[in-house]
Structure 1
Amino acid sequence: MRNSVRMFASTAGLVGALALAGCGGSDEPAVGTPPAAPTAAQAGGGPVAAEPVDTCALFTPADAATVLGKQGLQPTSRKAEGSLLGGCNYTSADGTGADITARPAKEWDATKKAYNGTPVSGVGKEAVWADKVGLLVLPEGKPYFLHVLVIAKVAPLSLDKDGSITAGKIAAGR
Structure 2
Amino acid sequence: MTCKQSNQSHEKSVSKSFRGNRPFLAPIVVFFKSELNCFMQASHSILLVEDDADDRYIMHLAFTELTYTDHIKVFNTGEEILRYLHNLPDSSLYPALIVLDYNMPGMNGGEVLMRLKMDDALRDISIAMYSTGMSTMESKLKALGASYCFEKGHQIGDVYALAEKLKAIVEGEEVIEKK
How high is the TM-score relative to the length of structure 1? 0.30
Structure with larger RCO (C-alpha < 8 A, sep 6+): 1
Identify the structure with the greater strand proportion: 1
Identify the structure with the greater helix proportion: 2
Computing the radius of gyration from Cα coordinates, the structure with the larger value is 2
How high is the TM-score relative to the length of structure 2? 0.30
